[in-house]
Structure 1
Amino acid sequence: MLRRTGSRPWDLVAALAVTSTVGYGVMFYAFAIFLTPVARDLGAGSAQVTAALTLAIVVNAAAAPLVGRLLDRYGGRWLMTGGSVLGTLTVLAWSRVESLPALYAVFACMGVAMALTLYEPAFAVVVSWFDGRSRATALLAVTVVAGFATTIFSPLAGLLNEWYGWRQALVVLAVVLGTVTVPLHLLVVRRGPDSAHPPKTGAVGDALRDPAFWLLTGAFVAQSGAVYTLALHLVSYLTSLGHPGPFASLVTGLVGVLSVTGRLATTGLQRRWPAATVAAVMFTVQASGAALLPVLGGTAAGAVACVLLFGIGYGVGTIARPVLFAEHFGVAGYGAIAGAATLPIALMTALGPLGGAGLEQTAGYTSVMVAVAVLCVVAAAALTVHHRRIRAVLRNVPRKTPTSQG
């Protein structure tokens, strides 16, 4: 149920859905489109340029705990508004870089902007306004809309790059980012009626001693590495197979459409089957898409088919992770426990694309696709083991039987 009556909370959800879409589209997904031209103009390798985004993700993860405490204390209005302004300025600065050190400095600042504006602060604001089923619906609404970020901004960035070059394209995207996100965060975001509850004492320590924590964390570490590595290298890989740049950008945009479909399907299937099983199946489908891409990706139809297979599981981790952690550890202490899992997941999100770039330079893109498929299989296997352990524990719980009468 809503914590407070009135339409404002759902207006807030709509605003955060839009700002998350634009924020991810400009500050994250557009990077894949500009990777090759930026590397060419700076005289650098793809791994060196990809390291800039890696740095932004690491800074984002490092800043997240402090941002979370500030959100609990002050709410999201001014923090998210300031993050939107900072994001706009950093994208403008990105359009003017002339060296790798300048690129890295810009993306370090962009990491702070990400921590202040993307999913984590948006989720914190939504949670402060909603309870129970309404909370799940609100969070799903934000992620479903934001799932279109790559669908919208990968083709848009590709077209802008074709028309104006990457520098002027970034100026246009910075204007879009500032025009949309700054006023929405400033005028719509408000602090929720209730303060966040502190985590249960000892919850994190108990979780770290539970093998389930490491199975779940390991699953989402592997899946995060797979999805972000493929997302950042898909355009370059498709063009290396001989596909035109606009086609590669358009096909990459399909990932966003399928991520929305996957989130909706996962939410519906979890009503009939265990969440771990549903996510494991989705991750296995992803593995097949990545593994088949080197075989079938040379044709337009084959490339589309493989991207569709991979894309169906792209957004599943966003929905499945909170469900599985809450399901196993409960609500009390959930924030602290989920936060403990965030660091390795964020590190893999950062290092996966960088590792993919290094692997591409040494062994070729086929090896990158194989590595992505293996990571998806590892994620599916970890969730399967977790589910079987839970079933085994439940089977060993003694059932009460009627006592016999003499």
Structure 2
Amino acid sequence: MHRLRDLVLGPGRAVSVLSFTEILCWGILIYPPVLIMPHLAADHGWSLAFGMAGFSIGLVTSGMLSPTVGHLIDRHGGNVVMSAGALTGALGLVLLTLAEHPVIYLACWLLLGAAMSSTLYDPAFATLTRIFGASARRQITFVTFAGGFASTVGWPATQLLLEHVGWRGTYLTFAGVLAFVAAPLHGFALPRTVAVAPLPAVSGSTVVPAAPMRPEGWPFILLVAAFALHFFILSGVTSNLLAMLQRGGMDAATVVAVGTLFGPAQVAARLVDFLTAGRTHPLWIARGAVTLTAFAFAMLAFVGASPLVAVLFAIAFGAANGVMTVARGALPLVMFGPVGYGRVIGRIARPGLFVQALAPFVVASALERFSDGAVLVSGIVGALLALGCFMAIRAPGRA
């Protein structure tokens, strides 16, 4: 009864609120473009590549703003920052439906990138850490577990709206959800409890945060590099995987069925981590995730793209990404402590978001120039490099 009261009235309601709003924000800002963009591009007479370039600009903008957004959450809380982000996203979607000129269209994605930087996982992690301090890992895990359902909600909702109200009506509907559901929940329902005092303003003296390690030097560089490599593999492969499987001889229906396993595998892996939270150091979770990624690529590269192997690949790769998201929130908390966490996780996210924006085009170009097998082998190499980075890190605690 006490736990139920806390989820509704106490600080624990931050978990309830963010679990719900992360599904909305991911399902509105990240997943719909793959379905909407062909309609948008055809309506304007633009190429699909140009349409998707807007989405890439949004990701790059998100990366540029992430440290600043994290710092603002450290100082002012997620109430202000995440509600403003949802309203910015709503404005960007409304303007996107009105944009006829290519330059204005791309400018709209600057607003949407700002919304991404202030409403998705990183600001949610920063908000939870500000509220719960060093004990925020379990809350972070639960929110990522719920957020794993975003594709389950976002893609069917997008497809249904496209069929009934077109792409403009779809984005206007999503703008209404951000403005009248997500923004009020962030602004008024998120608790304002502060477990970690915000960093004092700099006034000539250097403030030394009370954290196990300082977010600088080789441990920080290795952590950033490892997560950036994971982002590159994830974005580059998922955007081209279905086409690679079809070239391997699988029919379209089977390929789509295989693709649907990715989301449930993420959720299942996060559920396991949630049920065992605190028993495994997040550094070992990250090492295990990239090892599983390398194994998944090796299966597909050396055994071949049969339906069974493709299913095993989707499950393994999805599970690896599922727990890697948890590690991305928990590992910086363990290594660098809760003070200034928002800015730290923003700094970590920035290079990853840059490579996430570039990876689909880089991998697609590599597939045109080289074989699918060569690209899969490069994925193995990337995963092993990330593993090397994680193995070289010696974090405080039990790692």
* Distance change in 2, residues 1:14/1:161 (3 Å): same
- Match of 1:130, SS state, is helix
* Distance change in 2, residues 1:327/1:142 (3 Å): closer
* Distance change in 2, residues 1:103/1:235 (3 Å): farther
Could you tell me how far apart the structure 2 residues matched to 1:98 and 1:224 are? 32
Stretch of structure 1 that moved more, 219-228 or 171-180 = 171-180
- 1:82-121 aligned at under 5 Å gives the runs 82-95=84-97, 97-98=99-100, 100-121=102-123
Aligned to 2:25: 23
TM-score when normalising by structure 1 = 0.77
Aligned to 2:64: 62
Instruction: Kindly indicate whether the alpha-carbon contact (under 8 Å) linking 2:197 and 2:339 is maintained by their aligned counterparts in 1.
Output: no
- 1:196-275 aligned at under 5 Å gives the runs 196-198=197-199, 201=207, 207-209=215-217, 211-234=218-241, 243-244=251-252, 251-266=258-273, 274-275=281-282
Structure 1 residue 146: Cα displacement? 0.8
Instruction: Kindly indicate whether the alpha-carbon contact (under 8 Å) linking 1:270 and 1:278 is maintained by their aligned counterparts in 2.
Output: no
Instruction: Give CA-to-partner distance per residue, 1:34-93, whole Å, 9 cap, x none.
Output: 455555555555554433222112211222333334334443334333322221232344
Structure 1 residue 145: Cα displacement? 0.5
Could you tell me how far apart the structure 1 residues matched to 2:226 and 2:183 are? 36
Structure 1 residue 114: Cα displacement? 1.5
Structure 1 residue 378: Cα displacement? 2.0
* Distance change in 2, residues 1:106/1:334 (3 Å): closer
Stretch of structure 1 that moved more, 216-225 or 87-96 = 87-96
Amino acid at match of 1:87: G
Asked which structure has the greater CA Rg, the reply is: 1
Stretch of structure 1 that moved more, 142-151 or 252-261 = 252-261
* Distance change in 2, residues 1:85/1:315 (3 Å): same
* Distance change in 2, residues 1:386/1:345 (3 Å): same
Stretch of structure 1 that moved more, 13-22 or 153-162 = 153-162
TM-score when normalising by structure 2 = 0.78
* Distance change in 2, residues 1:34/1:293 (3 Å): farther
Instruction: Kindly indicate whether the alpha-carbon contact (under 8 Å) linking 1:258 and 1:308 is maintained by their aligned counterparts in 2.
Output: yes
Instruction: Kindly indicate whether the alpha-carbon contact (under 8 Å) linking 1:49 and 1:100 is maintained by their aligned counterparts in 2.
Output: no
Aligned to 2:145: 144
Instruction: Kindly indicate whether the alpha-carbon contact (under 8 Å) linking 1:225 and 1:349 is maintained by their aligned counterparts in 2.
Output: yes
| Higher relative contact order (CA closer than 8 Å, sequence separation 6+) | 2
Aligned to 1:181: 182
Amino acid at match of 1:198: L
* Distance change in 2, residues 1:155/1:356 (3 Å): farther
Could you tell me how far apart the structure 1 residues matched to 2:360 and 2:280 are? 33
Structure 1 residue 313: Cα displacement? 1.0
Stretches of structure 1 that go unaligned for 5 or more consecutive residues are: 395-406
Instruction: Give CA-to-partner distance per residue, 1:239-291, whole Å, 9 cap, x none.
Output: 7776548x766654432322222233346667555543332222222233345
Amino acid at match of 1:80: M
Aligned to 1:352: 359
Instruction: Kindly indicate whether the alpha-carbon contact (under 8 Å) linking 2:95 and 2:108 is maintained by their aligned counterparts in 1.
Output: yes
Q: Tell me which of 276, 290, 293 is aligned to 1:286.
A: 293
Instruction: Give CA-to-partner distance per residue, 1:346-365, whole Å, 9 cap, x none.
Output: 32233223423443455576
Cα root mean square deviation, aligned: 3.9
Aligned to 2:390: 383
Instruction: Kindly indicate whether the alpha-carbon contact (under 8 Å) linking 1:207 and 1:213 is maintained by their aligned counterparts in 2.
Output: yes
Instruction: Kindly indicate whether the alpha-carbon contact (under 8 Å) linking 2:75 and 2:198 is maintained by their aligned counterparts in 1.
Output: no
Count of residue pairs brought into register by the alignment: 386
* Distance change in 2, residues 1:312/1:50 (3 Å): same
Instruction: Kindly indicate whether the alpha-carbon contact (under 8 Å) linking 1:259 and 1:312 is maintained by their aligned counterparts in 2.
Output: yes
Could you tell me how far apart the structure 2 residues matched to 1:159 and 1:365 are? 34
Structure 1 residue 368: Cα displacement? 5.0
Aligned to 1:400: none
Stretches of structure 2 that go unaligned for 5 or more consecutive residues are: 201-205
Could you tell me how far apart the structure 2 residues matched to 1:77 and 1:311 are? 31
Amino acid at match of 2:189: V
